[in-house]
Every structure is written in structure tokens, then in C-alpha cells.
Amino acid sequence: MASTQLNRRRSSRIPTNLKIESINSIECKFPVLNVSENGFFIKTDVPYKKGSKFILTFKLPDGPMPISAYCQVLWSKFLEDSLEDSNGIGVKFVKISEFDQKRLSKFLQSIDIKTEYSVNSDLHTLFDFSNVSKESFEKRSKKLYSYINDMKEKGSHTYRRSLLSPSKNRVLVYDEETKTEREMVMMGSNNYLGMSAHPKVIKAAEEAIEKYGVGAGSVSLLAGTFDIHKKLEKRLAKLKGAEDAIIFPSGYSTNIGCISALLREKDLIAIDRLAHASIIDGCMLSNAKLRTFKHSDMDALEDLLKRNKDGHENKYIAVDGVYSMDGDVAPLPEIIDIANRYNAKTIVDDAHSTGVIGDMGKGTASHHNVEGKVDVVVGTLSKAIGQIGGFVASSKEIVNYLRYYARSYFFSTSLPPVVVASVLAALDVLENDPELHLKLKENINYFKSNLLDLGFETVPNTESAIIPIIVGEENILKKMSKRMNEEGVYVNPVPYPAVPRDKTRFRTSVMATHTREDLDFALEKFEKVGNEFGIINSKKHHAIH
């Protein structure tokens, strides 16, 4: 008996809201006050005697199939003056199937995390669970797990929604809460020109699969270069007005590989304070001296370079062409002038610029009429081009150097030929269909002007497809995100630390494939939900036009 008690105590009992559904096939509704892997404490007024044995059934929240277990009463407590919840029986499992035991263990693990590390998501942000915490990784990860679960229970976790259709202006989404499929207006995709579902792109992909198969099979420098890889490099170089180009497996790995290869410990790199995380990470891997300047503040940039004009072997300036959170365009002509005065090289990340701004979507340099004056242009194939991958366009010497020293290129399997063929087809569309650009620009202006007229705070001078809607307080953002999801608009909430605490926002993305009906629907829902939470400036409130 002592051994049994010891074993029972080794498995901690966890409070729960399960209910016993039957005992010996007789229906009953006894609440389970706590549970362990070995047994239950069941609240009941039925005086089961110690040693009694029976078969009981109960259900877990993870599915409709009940669990049956052969049990024995270890102790029975029925006192008239005791607290209401203290009367009941303690039972142990004598026999339970291995499958059901695993289901119970999984359930207990999730409950254990929730109770021991319970987190109210309304009182926290993702920053609270990062490596700034002094807690162990185990504790941080469990608290984050609880934080995300709490958001899900409150309906404010609108990340990782499952798409069941191509990423187009309207998408079919699987709703986890209702377990149903429903159509939503997509305002969160970077597929700005609709290339990922363009008929010409799809046809090119199908033909490439027949010719090349689906994988490259090796890194680019060894056996992973196909004829179409070289063709794409030439096309990208031409697009950016450069001598040559190199293709990477992703946009993130492009900045990582390029910057960490080019910079050395005695170099200086000045980056805009709002530069993309991949630029920052590439700088940190390079061991170069990293300094930031106030966003698009040319006086701050010049002052930084003036203070650091000596003592460095090389100097670089790195900026985004279009900034991913505000959607504004970098003042590239001024940056180039300052770089020339201080003998610095320029690196421009055209991730959100390519296909969107400039002559026929050539990017930031074209937009500012300074083509050929940027030393290194970094780009991605996953935004307006609609595929995956990244590239660097520069001089033939720099590109050649990167082929041998950019680790994220050298040690990564080459892009699948089917992706490369799709990119080439997308570039054909980009260069030969001006209507796409005109439609995108028209949609951007229409959506932005109506948001401003409705009284939303945004970035009025943006010329890109990214239009932020500033909310401010994160709890309001979470609740509004739930409501926008319910109203049928797929839009991405961006909390702290991705943006300042008082500038949390929805990042809306406009596509050329959006119809006027799509945009009006989204505007109507933003207006409705914005009024519910009081974030609209009523003095500016006008009808949609």
C-alpha cells in the first residue's frame, strides 16, 4: 500500500474540468477535480468503498473517442462538515490501453504547461519571452507556449491560418475555431502582382517539371547549376542595371551571405534604424563595426560617417529600398551623394521594391533615376515575383567573390529548376504587361486615400504596396485582429517588438489583382472594426469614394 501511495504521489495531480461519463456502462456526470497519469480525484456523493473496482469512461478535449479504464478506489472521503469540493474518491488506473495512456499523457503535458506557466496574453508581448529574459530556455518556451495558447483561446491569434487555395485577392481559409472553410479578402500577402498564380507562370512551371524534375540536387557551385540558372542571373543583372547577379535560396539568406562575406572586422557599416532583420544579422555575422542612424535622416547619416571617417578599412551604407513596416521609400539620391563624399559603398535591399516601383518595376534606383549608381543591390524573388529565393546584382568581380565566399550560397542547395523557370516567366510578364503596374498603382492610391479619408493613421507619403494602419495599444490590436478575421479580411497584425509599442499596426498589402469590390469590402470592415475600438479620427471621417 505504501508503494502504491508513493507511486501515486510521484505523478503530480493537475486541476482539470473533465467529467466521468459512465461507470460500469451506467451513465453519470461526475466532475474530475484533478488528474494524473495514474488516476483521478472524482467529486461524487456516491459512497464507493475503498478497494472497489469498476470500468469508467471519460473524454478528452482532443477528440470524440472516449477513454475507458479499469480502475480501483484507493481512498474514499465523505464528511458532512467538509468543504463541498473535498468529498469524493481517489482512484487509480489498474488497466488502460497504451494508445489511451499516450493520449492522456499528451493532454496532461499541455495542461501542466498551462497551469504551471500560466500567462495572460493581454499583459504580455512576444518580447517578454525572448533571450532578454534571465529565465532558462525551458521556462521561456513553456511560458511562450501558454501565451500563444491563451491568444488562441481568446481568438486573437491570427497567425499561421491555413490557406486552401492560391494566394490571390480572395483566398479559401480553414477556420480552426469553427472547423469550416471560408472565403476571405487577402490583404496580407506580398504577392503584389499576383505572379504566384499567373497562368503564364504556372505553365512555365509545368513545362520545367517535365524537363528538369523538381529538385536541383546539389549546391550551385558544384552540380546544382542548370542552364536556366545562368539565364536567370543575366536577366536579374539586366533588370537592376548591373554587370552580373547571383541567386540565393531565400531573401533572408541573401543579405546574410552577402554582407557577412563582403565585410570584415575593421570595416564600418551604417544602417538605417528600420533596416530589415536580415541586414542586421548579416552585419553581426561579419564582425564589422555596426552603427545605426535615425530612419531616413540624412543629417544623422552624414554625422555618423563624419564621426567615423578614420580608422576603418572600408565603409558601407545599407538601407531598404522600401521599408517593410512603413512602406516608405529610401531617399536614395541623398544616400548616394553622402556615400561618395565619405568614400562609402552602398547596399540597397530591393525586396519590397522589385516589381512595385520604378520603370516597369525595376526598383528603387529606377524610381529615383540613379540606376547604375548603387554598388550592391539585394533583392528577393518571393514578393512581387511570386516565387522564392533572393539575388545580389553588382559588378562581375563582387558577384564572383560571393560565389566563393558567401556561405549561405555555397552551402545551400540551388533553387529548384521549376522555381527558376517560374521566375523567368514572371519577369517576362513584368517586362511586357504594363497594365499590371498601372492597376497596382491605381489600387494603392485608392486604398491609401480612402483609409486617410476614413480617419485612420497611416503613412501618407508611401508609394509602395505596403500601407500600415496604426493602432497603438497592443491589446486593441489583438482584439481588432480577432474581429477583422471574423469579418472576413485576412490581414497581418504587427506587434512590439517588430514596431514601437505605441505604433503597433496592421500591415496591409495591396495587390494588382484586387478588384474595386475587394478593396471596398476591406475598407468597409476596417471602418466598422475601427469604430468599434475607437481608433478612427472622427474629424477626418468621410465616405468611401
| Catalytic residue annotation | 324, 352, 383
> Which single residue is written with the C-alpha cell 467529486?
43
Cβ neighbours around 240 below 10 Å, total:
29
Is 150 in a helix, a strand, or coil?
A: helix
Question: CB of 286 within 8 A of CB of 278?
Answer: no
In angstroms, the CA 275 to CA 391 distance is: 18
Inter-CA distances, 536 with 104, 185, 211, Å: 48, 22, 55
DSSP 208-229: HHHHH-S---SBTTTT---HHH
Inter-CA distances, 407 with 120, 215, 481, Å: 42, 20, 39
Beta-bridge partner residues of 290: 269
In angstroms, the CA 342 to CA 210 distance is: 52
CA dihedral 41, 18, 145, 165 (to 10 degrees): 160
In angstroms, the CA 379 to CA 416 distance is: 18
Amino acid identity for residue 171 in this structure: V
In angstroms, the CA 291 to CA 301 distance is: 10
Cell triple for 190:
506580398
Residue 174 host element (H or E)? strand 170-175
DSSP 343-387: T-EEEEE-TTTTTTSSGGG--HHHHTT-TT--SEEEEESSSTT-S
In angstroms, the CA 259 to CA 378 distance is: 10
Is 398 in a helix, a strand, or coil?
A: helix
Q: Is the backbone peptide bond immediately before 497 cis, with ω within 30 degrees of 0?
A: yes
Cell triple for 479:
482584439
Residue 527 host element (H or E)? helix 516-532
In angstroms, the CA 221 to CA 206 distance is: 26
Cell triple for 536:
478612427
CA 184 to chain centre: 18
> Which single residue is written with the C-alpha cell 519590397?
352
Q: Which of 481, 480, 501 is nearest to 492 (CA)?
A: 481
Phi then psi for 310, rounded to 5 degrees?
A: -115, 160
